[in-house]
Amino acid sequence: MLGSGIINGLVVTAKNFVGSYHDPKRMVTQQYPEEPTVLPENYRNFPFLVAENAADPMGTLRCVACQICEKECPPQCIIIEKSKDKKPDASGKLQLYPAVFGIDTSVCMSCQICVEVCPFDAIKMDKVFAIAATDRFTGLFLDREKLAKPNSYYHEIHPIEAAEVDDRLAADRKAAEEKAKAAAAAKAAAAAKPAAPIAGVADPGPASPRPATTTVNPASAPAAPAPKTPPPSA
């Protein structure tokens, strides 16, 4: 009949009207500043530096100032200055650390290449999106202090990925310990047999792609006991 389509349409909108008051499936609007946005697990932008300990983030940065990310960064928004001295990292090994580490977020394009190239799992993507500042040179340039965030924060924002990283680091460290033990045993054997060639000793030095001594157990604290075997010399 003429006009039945109009009535059907009116019914549809009336259902929308009533449903929008009690049906959360219909009313999908998020009131953003009051209701925090629920971001998907894989949401990522702007890198941050992972620190082992929330109490002392500057002392427990995973970053060893190798400057790979600085060189790889396409818009060149990362600035790193190596330290003059060395500090023991979380596992007690003496390492360089970044005396200056800055990221200009007004230039950063969140391409994640710095994260891909980091051999130390020291830089990861953050989940912040509401960055605002009144001055781009002071407000949007994030220095070392602003960039450092504890590992627990990483677990908060990317739980699956952070667990994977921790597992891998723990496994690497275990493997390194066993290797070091084997090396020590071999050394002992070599000491017993002085004629043995030194080149045969398996020595996981800094040439290995992922230095085992920088890896740390998730539970380890800055005051974690040093590995039982002496760290291989750099």
Rank residues 20 and 42 by Cβ distance to another protein and give the closer one: 20
* 19 versus 75: smaller Cβ distance to another protein: 19
Q: How far is the CB of 37 from another protein (least distance, A)?
A: 16
What is the DSSP annotation of 73-121? -TT--EEEEE-SS-EE-TTS-EE--EEEEEEETTT-----HHHHH-TTS
**Contact residues for 175 (Cβ-Cβ < 8 A; gap 6+):** 212
Nearer to another protein among residue 28 and residue 132 (C-beta):
28
Interface ranges with another protein (CB under 8 A): 1-3, 6, 9-10, 12-14, 16-17, 19-21, 26-29, 31
Q: What whole-number distance in Å separates Cα of residue 66 and Cα of residue 98?
A: 9
Min separation Cβ 44 and another protein, Å: 29
CB of residue 36 to another protein, shortest distance in Å: 17
Do 213 and 168 form a contact (C-beta atoms < 8 A)? no
Pair type for strands 78-82 and 94-95: unpaired
How is residue 75 written in tokens? Answer: 């818009």
Distance CA 136, CA 103 (A): 12
- If the CB atoms of residues 9 and 206 are measured against another protein, the closer one turns out to be 9
The residue type found at 52 is E
Tell the smallest beta-carbon distance from residue 38 to another protein (Å): 17
Q: Which is nearer to another protein, 12 or 202 (CB)?
A: 12
Min separation Cβ 10 and another protein, Å: 5
